[in-house]
Amino acid sequence: MRLDKFLKVSRVIKRRTIANEAADNGRISVNGKIAKPSYEVKVGDIIEIKFGDKISKFEIIKIPEKQVSNMEEIIKII
């Protein structure tokens, strides 16, 4: 699943366009490297998102088929 879509369906970011813009502006890294919105995420990837002074870091534990209601089922906050 693409990074931008994963961030939307996991409810980390509300809209896919926002996830796309964040990645295009270099604010999202996967496993320590700046990632494009088209990056194919996989279980075990560590994602870091920078929003202003705030940094969110989490590990993917499951790739969902559709939008989830509980983020904790698919990501582990680090």
Could you read off the pLDDT of 13-60 as tens digits, one per residue? 999 999 999 999 999 999 999 999 999 999 999 999 998 899 999 999
Residue 71 predicted with pLDDT over 80:
no
Q: What is the CATH number of domain 3-77?
A: 3.10.290.10
Q: Give me the torsion for CA of 5, 7, 13, 18, rounded to 10°.
A: -50
How is the chain split into domains, by residue range? 3-77
Polymer length of the chain? 78
Residue 64 predicted with pLDDT over 80:
yes
The CA–CA distances, whole Å, from 46 to 3, 42, 43, 58, 63 equal: 12, 9, 9, 6, 13
Compute φ and ψ for 7, nearest 5 degrees.
-65, -35
Q: What is the pLDDT of residue 63?
A: 92
User: Do the beta carbons of residue 26 and residue 33 sit within 8 Å?
Assistant: no
Residue that wins the pLDDT comparison between 23 and 74: 23
